[in-house]
Structure 1
Amino acid sequence: MLRRLTPLAPRSLALFPHPAACRLLPRPSRAVLLPPSRQPFSTSPYGIKRLRQLEDEANRSPHDASRQLSLLQACNQHKQSHVAVRRFETGNYASDAACVREYLRALGATKMISSLTPAQLAQYAAGSSGAGLHPPAADAMGASAGGGGAFLAERGTQDAPLHVLWSESPRAQLWKMLRLVAVAGITISAFMLLLDEKSIPKGLGIGVEVHPVVGSSKRFTDVVGVDEAKQDLQDIVKYLRSPKQFTRLGGKLPKGCLLTGPPGTGKTLLARAVAGEAGVPFFYMSGSEFEEVFVGVGAKRVRELFAAAKKRSPCIIFIDEIDAIGSHRNPKDQSAMKMTLNQLLVEMDGFQQNSGIVVLAATNFPESLDRALVRPGRFDTRVTVPLPDVQGRRQLLDLYAKPVPIDDNVDLDTIARATPGFSGADISNLVNVAALKASHDEKKKVGMDEFEHACDKIRMGAERKSAVISPENLKLTAYHEGGHALVALKTVGGMPIHKATIMPRGEALGMVSYLPEKDQLNLSRQQILAHLDILMGGRVAEEVIFGRDQVTTGASSDLQQERATNMARSMITQWGMSTTLGPMFYQQREVDNLSPATREAVEKEVKHLLVTAEANAKKVLTDHKDELHKLAQGLLKYETLTRAQIDDLLAGKEIKLKSKQERTKEKADLENKGKGDLAKAA
């Protein structure tokens, strides 16, 4: 509801100005006095012209009530009652009873008469007996506005204007708020829609059509060392090439094949070989590529992937590192992860069957996958890709050494035996590091020394040639490593050694590496006890040569972690080799919960095994003390000795090997020569 408003300052008011009048008397804004919702309909052009004439006459004679009456009547007649109300309420023009009646008529037409009190209506009904300004109307206006005093005395001026408060009804305010909320909602929705269709797809790849891999240059001949896994995948390739050969007896195309195994064993390489051999479209995605910051993107990408595969079936889908999206579902997991996995389950074996699509997946953690994902019907077969054995490592060396010029002294069989636990990726890296070493040394071919260097670098780290080691510590290290090597040579059941070195690598000051004839899948009690003797050999050698008070902390790594103490405890608690407890197996947490008497029995037997191993090593080194001195002196002179060189050294034969001092001198001469050549060139 519109409240009565405080009028403007007294001045000539042009309600219907013509161009000339506009320059002299600027027309006030009608919105100040009446809101747009209350403005009446406009009149005809002729009526507007007539109103302008009457307005000009009334403005020229502001004290003539008859002219004011004519203007007010014309305004009411032409449905411009709001103009009549506004002009009358200014209080700047003459008024009589007839003008008051026209004013009341205008109030009724604009539905503003309800704002007057009964007393004010009675006052207006009494009218005004003479011409002049109309204080009753002004007083009524002031009273209705809540001022309680004479309006003409309190109205503002041009220098001190009054502030007008426009109060709307609750219904109008509610409608205005709803309109504002609606406009804001529409604007935000349009912006988000534009962002979703334009910005997000380009930035995150959402909605982009999935295309298969154009082709793979890998074949099954490029995959060696994993013959069993290769055979299983060759069957899938044959099925894709000629499905009728297998379905004629009622068989069905396998829906999925899960490749499991340690990192670097060739799971992704096998998938590439399948893509190259099958001759069908091949789709590749990593498990981490499905998820983004927006919820639902993963499930959408799964749908798009399988939709593209359906159009090109028969085909192969390969998902690498599937454990990123296929791990066990947990109630605490985010809903986005569950949506992606659920969509993958539906696509692989849901209500709608996918024929002609084989899903290959690779993971290093098969135990972490959800059981619903690995059940038959989704991943029908599981192919294990293990670490290669000696024969597999030899095949890998032959494969990766083909493009590398190899010296005649290189024995790939020895390298294969010296690299137990190496994966296919490790073998490839080994050949690459050896080739880089030969290139650095400006050699034309890669020799055995480069392969030895690469193997040691991968296992133990780079050589610490700049490490400053005192002669005393170097001598201690030589006898320590010599003790390990000599006990290994003289103990029945010990692994054959490959070489011994006192060159610092990584965190080790020296090491003795072993060269088993074949991969050790199981160890006998004799082999374990012999290994305990070998581990004790370094510490015992320090004690035999330098005395018990000069034993160093270098033997701590031999006694802890997966070394002597842990191996002896495993013999008692896990491998059933205890003479006291018998063939018992205890988990580590179970050992902690054993009775005090049982724990004491375990510790006593562990101590007995270690003390016995120490005594055996001490007897060997005491009986062969002269050989220990020879071996230590050889290590001090040559730094590194192979098994053949150790045998020649102990037999008193001459070793055809440059000493450490000679190699250092040659290296210095080469550096000086290089500096001289650079100086001449400059």
Structure 2
Amino acid sequence: MKTRYLKIAGLVALIIVVAGVAFFPFYWNPKKSSTQVIFSDFMDLVETGQIAGTVVFNEGTHTIYAHVTAGQHLRTIYSKEATGPLQELLKKKGIRFAIESGGGGSIWLSLLFNMLPFLLIIGLFVMMGRRSQMGGGGGPMSFGKSKAKLHDATKPKVTFADVAGEEEPKEELLEVIEFLKHPQKFQALHAKIPRGLLLVGPPGCGKTLLAKAVAGEASVPFFSLSGSEFVEVFVGVGASRVRDLFEQAKKNAPCLVFIDEIDAVGRHRGAGLGGGNDEREQTLNQLLVAMDGFEANSGIIVIAATNRPDILDPALLRPGRFDRRIIVDNPDSKGRKAILQVHLREIPVAPDVNVDVLAKQTPGFSGADLASVVNEGALLAARREKKMVNMVDFDEAVERVIAGPLRRSRALTPKEREMVAYHEAGHAILRKLIPHADPPHKVTIISRGMALGYVMGAPPEDRYTRTRSELLAEVSVAMGGRVAEDLVFGEITTGASNDFEQATNMVRRMVTNFGMSDKLGPVTLGRQGGPVFLGRDMIDSRNYSEEIAYQIDQEVRRLLDEAYQYAHRTIEANREKLNRVAKALIERETLYAEELDDVMAGKVVALEPSRPTASAGAEADIEAPTAATPDAPPVAPPATA
């Protein structure tokens, strides 16, 4: 209440100031404060040179305005006959004069002119007040209102039929739906449904879609907003919006409240540089009380989504608030097939489209990535004036999502083209020859995105763990491009920079995170995360000594050198295969897995137009990193390297 009175007092003070400014010119008028004299005395003052400035003749009121040298303002009434002699006298004395038109209505016009700013401001406040009362959201008192959007049962529903590839999260959410539909079954056993569910997963995996499906299946009101919509620059607005949101939810209970990207408001308290009493923390405090405070919010279930659960405040995750954490991960091969089938329902596809093959070509793709693949395929088919989308369109769409669009306009010199061909051939034959490495699906020297060329690996199946041998095999594969350049040309290029970056990062993780170093043993070595909002790297909380740091560097150096030598021996022993693959790439630009086998065996391969396709795990050979398998590390030959 105190805050409301302060706002009203401020508004009244503002109106008084504006009114004073508006009426000041009207009441302070030098003409109205002048002294009236008779015409003959005024003529005498002109004769004696006591008039200063400009003399004004007002024809409407027959009044002369002037002021004497001492500063006194004068006015006198003149007759029409006296105008001529007076003007002659003024000219003779060198005094300027002006004639202004005016009349009896000038006072009203002046009044209107002076009151116009005041009237405009009053009208503005009236308009804002009406908008605030009508719920337009634009009034000065509407800052504290929640911006949540209410989706009622009359709008088109999203159901679990629209969600594919996330069967386990759907099972977890079915319990919530059952409670919203039949609460008496749970109340009879005094069972309490979780008040909050936290959906955790990488971007694009379907967290928001799942929340919408829960509301659609339960047929209850659904409030949705993002965490950033709570916070404003005005102090106290965020907490006010939280209160307003839960008041609206109580009126519509049973209902669902969905907060997307809750980490924007639910971050760990007390970790900022500006102290603990900031607007975001006040908003979080109000959210904590609203979810589980003195007042019961029965019938309100809060669903939140984030891809940063590590930075959320512990009080937000305790039982009674977000009781359950539901992991929504990227789909496996079966899930990808189901997601593709959902997106393909509305698209005319040709008989040659094989959804099973397409699902196997997209390991690691999220639901959003798969939706993009289907859309890109349809766009490519429309660009080619097709009536249906073919498999070749989807193949190229996968590649576009991974590595970007084709760049045939990037012209390479013959020498550069040859070096790129040998570089990619080095990667390709190592994928074929090194045990435990993912076999190649495609090798090309056609520029795409930022890459001059790339080799795409094709994992035989989805994998969730990697062995030491597999990781070391991938590190050796990453060295293949530089080894081939050095062996053939005796010269090296900048094209292997991204290969080395991936290889170094993976080997360092093997040593410090995975415990895969024989010298350092099964131990985790690294920084212990400091306060997340001070920046983890600003506080040096390394849990090992400088001596151990030196040993880590030595071990990383040793493993990289051994991987390079392993790749060098393998390519040198298969130099003829390297030459065949490189020459075939120069001639054909692209080789697929079966063609690569024939070329390495020395068979004659018929020249065919290159066919666009794609997979995951591309090694892009450029100076800057490209879209290859993001967290799928380049890694490993046997420990004999």
Regarding TM over 0.5, the answer is: yes
Query: Larger C-alpha radius of gyration, 1 or 2?
Result: 1
Q: CA deviation at 1:199?
A: 6.2
Q: How does 1:52-63 map to 2 (within 5 A)?
A: none
CA distance in structure 1 between the aligned counterparts of 2:197 and 2:131, rounded to whole angstroms: 37
| Deviations 1:486-515, CA, capped at 9 Å, x for gaps | 011011111121111111122221111111
User: 1 CA distance for matches of 2:275 and 2:329?
Assistant: 34
Q: 1:267 to 1:603 in 2, by over 3 A?
A: closer
Q: In the alignment, is residue 552 of structure 1 matched against residue 493 of structure 2?
A: yes
Amino acid paired to 1:197? G
Choose between structure 1 and 2: higher strand proportion: 2
User: How far apart, CA to CA, are the structure 2 residues paired with 1:627 and 1:211?
Assistant: 63
- Give the AA of the match of 1:461: G
User: What is the alpha-carbon distance in structure 2 between the residues aligned to residue 660 and residue 528 of structure 1?
Assistant: 31
Structure 1: runs of 5 or more not aligned: 1-28, 33-157, 165-186, 662-682
Equivalent residue number for residue 213 of structure 1: 151
Cα offset for 1:266?
0.6
Whole-Å separation in 2 of the counterparts to 1:570 and 1:210? 43
- In 1: Cα distance, 2:604 partner to 2:33 partner: 119
Partner AA of 1:326 in structure 2? G
After superposition, residues 100-115 of structure 1 pair within 5 angstroms as none
Give the secondary structure class of the aligned counterpart of 1:380.
strand
Assess if the C-alpha contact under 8 Å between 1:494 and 1:527 holds in 2: yes
Larger helix fraction of residues: 1
Sort the Cα spacing of 1:410 and 1:648 in 2 relative to 1 into closer, same or farther, 3 A.
Answer: farther
2:400 to 452, 457, 464: 457
2:567 to 596, 608, 617: 617
Matched residues in 2 for 1:484 and 1:209: separation? 53
| 1:37-436 aligned within 5 A | 197-198=129-130, 202=136, 204=138, 206=142, 212-214=150-152, 215-330=155-270, 332=275, 335-436=278-379
1:112-146 per-position Cα deviation (integer Å, ceiling 9, x unaligned) = xxxxxxxxxxxxxxxxxxxxxxxxxxxxxxxxxxx
Give the C-alpha shift of residue 290 in structure 1.
2.8
- Matched residue SS, 1:212: strand
CA distance in 1, matches of 2:389, 2:563: 42
C-alpha separation in 2, matches of 1:608 and 1:292: 53
Residue aligning to 1:669:
none
Deviations 1:68-111 (Å, cap 9, x if unpaired)? xxxxxxxxxxxxxxxxxxxxxxxxxxxxxxxxxxxxxxxxxxxx
Structure 1 residues 479-488 or 280-289, which shifts more? 280-289
Matched, 1:602 2:540: no
**How much does 1:193 deviate?**
7.3
Deviation (angstroms), 1:522:
1.5
Q: Per the alignment, in what secondary structure is the counterpart of residue 405 of structure 2?
A: coil
CA contact (8 A) 2:146 2:241 kept: no
Residues 528-567 of structure 1: pairs in structure 2 closer than 5 A? 528-547=471-490, 550-560=491-501, 563-567=502-506
Following the alignment from structure 1 to structure 2, what is the Cα–Cα distance between the partners of residues 590 and 339? 30
Q: Is the 1:213–1:281 contact (alpha carbons within 8 Å) kept by the matching residues of 2?
A: yes
Distance 1:404 1:498 in 2: 27
Alignment deviations for residues 209-263 of structure 1 (CA, whole Å, 9 cap, x no partner): 9773133421111111111111111110011101111222210132111111111
Q: Which residue in 2 is equivalent to 1:577?
A: 516
> What amino acid sits opposite 1:634 in the alignment?
A
Match of 1:486 in 2: 429
Post-superposition shift, 1:319?
A: 1.6
CA distance in 2, matches of 1:615, 1:403: 53
Cα 1:159–1:532 shift into 2, 3 Å: closer
In structure 2, give the amino acid aligned to 1:637: E
Task: From the superposition, tell whether residues 333 and 657 of structure 1 become closer, same or farther in structure 2 (CA, over 3 Å).
Answer: farther
Instruction: State the 1:454 CA deviation.
Output: 1.4
Distance 2:202 2:578 in 1: 41
Q: Cα distance 1:353–1:654, how it changes in 2: closer, same or farther (>3 A)?
A: same
Task: Give the match for residue 5 of structure 2.
Answer: none
Instruction: Please say if 1:510 is aligned against 2:453.
Output: yes
Do 1:493 and 1:530's aligned partners in 2 also have CA atoms closer than 8 Å?
A: yes
CA deviation vs aligned residue, 1:439-494 (integer Å, no higher than 9, x gap):
21223332332222212211212211111200111111111101111011011111
- Deviation (angstroms), 1:341: 2.4
Instruction: Determine the C-alpha separation between the residues in 2 that align with 1:435 and 1:162.
Output: 86
Distance 1:591 1:544, change over 3 A: farther
Whether the aligned pair in 1 keeps the contact of 2:407 and 2:446 (CA below 8 Å) is yes
One-letter amino acid matched to 1:448: M
What is the CA–CA distance in structure 2 between the aligned matches of 1:642 and 1:209, rounded to whole Å? 53
Distance 1:410 1:218, change over 3 A: same
- Are residues 611 and 344 of structure 1, via their aligned partners in 2, closer, same or farther at CA, if it must alter by over 3 Å? closer
Distance (whole Å) between structure 1 residues aligned to residue 375 and residue 460 of structure 2: 25
Q: Please, which of 507, 519, 526 is the counterpart of residue 568 of structure 1?
A: 507
**Could you tell me whether the CA contact under 8 Å between 1:568 and 1:606 is conserved in 2?**
yes
Counterpart AA for 2:332? D
1:176-212, Cα deviation, whole Å (9 max, x unpaired): xxxxxxxxxxx9x999975863466645472589773
Paired with 2:282 and 2:523, the residues of 1 have a C-alpha distance of 46
Structure 1 residue 421: deviation in Å?
2.3
Aligned to 2:582: 632
CA RMSD of aligned residues (A): 3.3
- Using the TM superposition, name which of 222-231 and 606-615 deviates more: 606-615
Letter in 1 for 2:498: S
Mapped to 2, the partners of 1:400 and 1:434 lie a distance apart of 11
Q: What is the TM-score of this pair, normalised by structure 1?
A: 0.65
Which secondary structure state, in structure 1, belongs to the residue aligned with residue 151 of structure 2? Answer: coil
The question of whether the paired residues in 2 share the 8 Å contact of 1:211 and 1:308 is answered with: no
Unaligned runs of 5+ in 2: 1-31, 36-66, 74-118, 528-539, 612-641
Shift of 1:536: 1.5
Question: For residue 3 of structure 2, what is the aligned residue in structure 1?
Answer: none
For 2:241 and 2:34, the matched residues in 1 are separated by: 57
Equivalent position of 2:104 in the other structure: none
TM-score (norm 2): 0.69
| Alpha-carbon distance between aligned partners in 2 of 1:397 and 1:209, rounded to the nearest angstrom | 34
Q: Percent identity?
A: 43
3-state SS in 2 of match to 1:602: helix
Query: Is the Cα–Cα contact under 8 Å of residues 637 and 660 in structure 1 kept in the other structure?
Result: no
Deviations 1:154-189 (A, max 9, x none): xxxx9788979xxxxxxxxxxxxxxxxxxxxxx9x9
1:658 aligns with 2:600: no
Q: Highest relative contact order (Cα 8 Å, sep 6+), 1 or 2?
A: 2
Which sits farther off after the overlay, 320-329 or 650-659?
A: 650-659
Deviations 1:411-457 (A, max 9, x none): 33333233222110011001110111122122333233222221221
Deviation (angstroms), 1:405: 2.8
* Superposed CA offset, 1:573-614 (max 9, x none): 332222223323311668796344x44443443333223222
